[in-house]
Structure 1
C-alpha cells in the first residue's frame, strides 16, 4: 500500500515528503491510518543523530489513528477502531511481561527483523522507533495499539502515546509517590508538565517546577505546580530547601536530557529521598555522582522508561482522567501542522518554543 511519509535521509537534515510502500499486516499486526502524530524530542534526537542509528528512516512514534486491517490472530482490535499507538511492543508471556513490565519485553518480533517500509524502488526504510508514524499509514504489532472511545479527539489522544505515559507514569508507576510527598520536576516541556500533573493527581505538596524559561514556568503553574524556580536567576538548591522545611525533596524527576541535570537532581533530594531519571540525553553524556553520599543518606536513583507503562491498563485510565476534566491534554498542544510542514513543526519543537506540536493528516477521522 502506498503512503506519503516524511523520510530522513541524512542526520540533522530537513525531512523530505516521499511516497513509500507500507506492507500488509502480518500475523499479530495491525495496519493503522495515521490521523495525528505529536513530535517528541526523541524523534528530534534521532533525526539529529544524537543516538546514532541507520538511515533512511521514517520516524514518529507519538501517534493516534484508525485501524484499517489486522493480521491473523488479532482479536483485541478490529477495523474502524480509533487507537492510541505506542512504541511498546510486548508479548505478554516473557519474564518481563509476566511481572507487569512490558516496556522490557524480551521477545524479538517479526517487525524487529524486517521493516514493513520500503521506498518507491523497493529499498528498505528504517521503521523508526518501531512505529514510523510520520506517514499516512503505519504497520505495528497489535500490542502497540490500544482502542479508545470514538468521541476522543485523535489529535489530543496522540499525546498519550509517549509524553503523557512517560511523564505521568514516572510519578505514579515508577516512583509510586504517596500523597503529601514533596516533588521537584526539572524541565517543563511536554514530559515534565505531565510529571507535574502526576504529582498533582497523587496529592503531592509542594510540587516545585524548575526550568530556565519563565514562560514554561508559568505553564507549569497552570498544570499544577505550587511553586516555580527559574534556574538561571535563582539558587535552586536553596529555594528547594526553603520550600521543604530545610529537608529538600522526597522525589526529584529529571525530565530533560540535559548535561548536568542528573547531578543537580541528586543535590535536591532529601535523606532517604529518590531521583527518577526520565529524560534521555544524547549518547556520551555522563554524570558524576558520589556513591558514598548516596549510601550514607539512603538515597535512590531510578531510571524510568516510558513511565513504566502498561499501555492496555494506563491508556484507558488516562483517557478517563481527561474526560473527567482531571487531566489537561488540549493545553499541551502548541500547534497543529499538515505533513507538508513537518520541518516547520520540528524547528519549532527543537527551539523549545513548543510544548507539543502535532502533525495532523489531511484525511482525519
Structure 2
C-alpha cells in the first residue's frame, strides 16, 4: 500500500534533531525530489537529478524505514512524501520555506505544476523576449508553460489541445493563438502563424510519441523542442535526423522544469504575489479531503484547470 500525493504545502509542526533548513511554524512547500547536495548532479546545479539517495527506494525514508503502518505492515509514501494526508513525515530537504502571506492553494500548486511549466520555459529552454512559442497540451502543466512564455516576453504564444474549454483557459493565461487539434493540423497551422517557418520553441506538455513528433516538426530552423510531459517508458517518437541536422533543430527533455526547489519555490511565490503569474485563476475548484475521488473525476474529464484539496474546509 502507498499514500499518494506529491504536490502540497503545509506548516512545520515537529523537527528531527539535525534539521536546520526550517523551524516550527514555517510555511513550506513540498518538493517531490530530494537532493543530497554533494553528488555530481547536485554539485553542478541539477538538483532534481540527484543520485545521492539511490540506494534506498524512493517511497521510503533515506534510512530505508517506513514511517507509516497499516495493521502492522509498512505503508509507502509516494516520492517519500505522500501528501494525500493530514500530516506527513519526510526528509528535511524535501520542504522549502516560503513567505507566510502566500495563499495555501497557491503554495500547493507551486510544488509541481507551476514549477514544472514555468521552469521549462525560464530555467530549461530560457525563452527570450520576442520569441514564438508552441505549447501542445493545456492541462495544469501546459497552462503554466503558457504563463512562463508570457512571463519571458514571447511575442507569439500558440496553444494546442483537443478541448475548447482548455484552449479558452490558455487564452486567459497568455496564449495569443489557439489550435483545436481535432479540427486543424497543429504543424501546418503553427507554421502559418509563424511566418511560414515554424515556432522558435515548442513544448510537449503531454508526452506521447505523436505530440513529441509534432513539436519537432513544428519548429523553425534552429528551434528548440522540449518534452515536458511524462511519457510512457515504452514510448518511441519518430524524428527525422536529417531535419535535425540540416535545420539545426534541438530536442531536449526537462524533469520538474529543471528547477532548483530551494530557490525557485520562493521566486515563484514572489511572481505570484506581484501578479506576474496568475495562480488564483488556475484553481478551478477546491475540495474537502473526502471529495478526492470527485476531484480525480473532474481532472480526468478535462473540465478543470487545477483542483486543490483544502484541509481547512
User: TM-score normalized by structure 2?
Assistant: 0.94
* Residue aligning to 1:258: 208
Runs of 4+ in 1 over 6 A off after TM superposition: none
**What's the CA shift for 1:115?**
4.6
235-244 or 318-327: bigger deviation: 235-244
Q: Which residue of 2 is the match for residue 83 of structure 1?
A: 28
CA offsets per residue over residues 155-192 of structure 1, 9 Å max, x none? Answer: 22100000000000000011011111110000111111
1:105-124 matches, within 5 Å, as 105-108=50-53, 111-112=61-62, 114-124=64-74
CA distance in 1, matches of 2:42, 2:231: 27
Displacement after TM superposition at 1:346 (Å): 1.1
Residue pair 1:253, 1:278 contacting (<8 A) in 2 also: yes
Determine whether 1:152 maps to 2:85.
no
- For residues 113 and 260 of structure 1, what CA distance do their matches in structure 2 show? 41
Aligned length: 308
Please give the alpha-carbon distance, in whole angstroms, between the structure 2 residues aligned to 1:281 and 1:112. 27
| Contact 2:130–2:154 (8 Å) recurs in 1 | yes
- 1:101 aligned residue: 46
**Selected match of 2:302 from 343, 348, 352:** 352
Q: If each structure's strand is expressed as a fraction of its own residues, which one has the higher value?
A: 1
Residue 12 of structure 2: SS of its match in structure 1? strand
Match of 1:309 in 2: 259
1:62 is paired with a residue whose SS is coil
Structure 1 gaps, min length 5: 1-55
Q: Distance in 2 between matches of 1:161 and 1:344?
A: 22
Structure with bigger RCO (C-alpha 8 Å, 6+ apart): 1
- State the partner residue of 2:8: 63
Partner SS state of residue 244, structure 2: helix
Structure 2 partner of 1:36 = none
Q: 2:189 aligns with which of 228, 239, 249?
A: 239
- Structure 2 unmatched runs, 5+: none
CA RMSD of aligned residues (A): 1.5
- CA distance in 2 between counterparts of 1:259 and 1:231 reads 15
> Helix, strand or coil: the match of 2:99?
coil
- Cα offsets for 1:71-119 (capped at 9, x unmatched): 1221120011011111021111211111111001111167145253433
1:6 is matched with which residue? none
Q: CA deviation at 1:333?
A: 1.0
Q: Shift of residue 238 of structure 1?
A: 2.0
| Aligned counterparts of 2:236 and 2:36: Cα–Cα separation in 1 | 33
Structure 1 position 204, deviation (Å): 0.7
Matched-pair contact (CA < 8 Å) for 1:115–1:127: no
Give the structure 2 partner of residue 72 of structure 1.
17
Q: Check whether the contact 1:116–1:139 (CA below 8 A) recurs between aligned residues.
A: no
Question: TM-score, structure 1 length as denominator?
Answer: 0.81
Residue 212 of structure 1, aligned match among 138, 162, 176: 162
1:274 CA drift (Å): 1.0
Please name the residue that 2:76 is paired with: 126
